[in-house]
Amino acid sequence: MTDIKEIKLVDVKNNSNIINNLNSIYKLWGYEEVSPSFINTLETIKGRGVIDENQVVGIVSNNSLCLRPEMTTSIVKLSSTRLINKKRPIRLFTNGMVFDKKQNKNSIKLQEKLQSGIELIGYDTKCPEIEVINILFDAIDNINLKDGCNLFLLVSTTKIMELILNKYKNNYFEEIKKSLVDFDQDNLSKLEIDEDDKYILKDLLFTRGEPIAILKKLKTIYGTSKTLDDLNFLFDTLSKISNRYGVKLQLDPTFQPHLNLYEGIVFQLIGDNGKNKSVIAKGGRYDELVRFFSPNEKIFNGIGFTISVDILRNFIREENTDKKKILLMFKDAYLLEKGLNEQKVQQKRGNIAILYLNPCDDLAKANQIMKENNCSEILWVK
């Protein structure tokens, strides 16, 4: 089964406006546009085990090719080939369709999704997250969002999970990790581990909120560590940025991405309208992916985000255009050339001008044509 949806004209228009607005912000931050191929080799897309082969849409004519399920892997590979001699850091942005496959016992569901995002590769700093998340907030702030969207950024890091699981490396490691990620209290209860440990792990399932407060709680459990100290610095900086944009920060120690793409900081920008919560954007660090494609790089770091344009579209206001939409008409055929000239005059004034190419001297028919073309007035060419 393929989830094919005919996109309404108004949605096409809104998609275009969103992409244009996002691109304008990316460019102001010094990012350059790239366009990775729709078609990739399975070897490229799977990368270092980033994506399960069963999740990608293969091409029937060639089993070694597939449609891209995400764009980061292709862009990181691009940075190691055609952009290998470009001075680091590399700042890139892209827009386009990705293709998703969900398979169960009875059916296969294919989806195409419109995404926009950036990648920052090879930045020589401890916290490149500061720039990338700042751009995400700035880009969304440039969109005319409805009131009551209540944006919050859910953040975690794979390093916190490593800290939590460190003592279980030889004892139920995978089971505990899966239970934490899947919010599975029942499975935690069944594990044959110390009851005090069970209590701590179950409590962590409900431990999320203001980052600095959560980090203090983690320090009381696991003691001081470089991981927690680094995160304290990061969130102290990000909190000032998020306050400026009116976005709440939330740290969730057990949140982990389903794709094996990210290592380090992972995040999701979520919109909550009071009825539903929707993931508008997601991203994180992928240092090991950079290392995989570019083993000779001096700086092994990469971070980025993707915005779901299809989801973001549901959060924007309907924009009213101030432009006039004029229908140009003439009664005699010899006035066609004059009509074409008048159309150009109106367009240069910033008006939308549609020229009806057939002579018409019936006022009732002219008004009907005006309504059919959603024009606000008729300008008769004389």
Binding-site residues: 70-72, 115, 119
Phi, psi for residue 99 in degrees, rounded to 5: -125, 125
Which residue ranges make up the annotated binding site for L-histidine?
70-72, 115, 119
From residue 345, give the alpha-carbon distance in Å to each of 106, 338, 341, 349, 353.
60, 11, 6, 7, 9
Closest CA to 326 of 340, 306, 347, 308: 347
Q: Is 248 exposed, middle or buried (0-12, 13-18, 19+ CB in 10 A)?
A: middle
Q: CA-to-CA distance for 336 and 357, rounded, in angstroms?
A: 7
Collapsing DSSP states into helix, strand and coil, what is residue 230? helix
Query: Angle, to 10 degrees, between the axis of helix 211-222 and the axis of helix 226-245?
Result: 170
Q: Which long-range contacts (CB under 8 A, 24 or more apart) does 171-176 make?
A: 176/201
Residue 243: other Cβ atoms inside 10 A:
11
From residue 175, give the alpha-carbon distance in Å to each of 168, 172, 178, 290.
10, 5, 5, 29
Q: Are 250 and 151 in contact (CB under 8 A)?
A: no
